[in-house]
């Protein structure tokens, strides 16, 4: 809640690295519509949607991080997560 006044939109165009934005749940703080929008605003942004229950959000993101750790950066999305990538452009 402390970050609710932070405005990312309009400020992400300068990010030059490839960035993977992940989401899988919606709650009063995490509006699902923001995540693809954030990824789209980053020039090399990519969006993965991994549906999960709110109680498993941290486990889901941790599992995705583990999969990314198993591949070289040049590979991009690990094959095990490819089905979760959504077109944003």
Q: Over the chain (89 residues), what is each successive 10-residue block's mean pLDDT?
A: 69 91 82 90 95 88 95 92 95
Report the pLDDT value the prediction gives residue 26, as an integer from 0 to 100: 79
Positive or negative torsion for Cα 41, 44, 50, 53: negative
The pTM of the full predicted model, rounded to 2 decimals, is 0.83
Domain chopping of the chain, boundaries: 19-86
Neighbours of 6 (CB within 10 A): 7
Report the pLDDT value the prediction gives residue 8, as an integer from 0 to 100: 78
Instruction: Summarize pLDDT for 20-45 with one digit per residue, the tens.
Output: 999 988 777 777 888 999 999 999 99
Report the C-alpha gap between 51 and 67 in whole angstroms: 16
Report the pLDDT value the prediction gives residue 2, as an integer from 0 to 100: 60
């Amino acid at each position: 809640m402390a970050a609710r006044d932070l405005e990312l939109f309009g400020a992400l165009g300068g990010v030059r690295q490839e960035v993977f934005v992940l989401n899988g749940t919606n709650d009063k703080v995490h509006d699902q519509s923001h995540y693809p929008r954030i990824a789209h605003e980053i020039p090399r942004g990519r969006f993965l949607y991994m549906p999960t229950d709110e109680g498993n959000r941290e486990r889901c993101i941790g599992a995705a991080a583990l999969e990314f750790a198993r591949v070289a950066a040049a590979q991009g999305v690990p094959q095990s997560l490819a089905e979760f990538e959504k077109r944003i452009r």
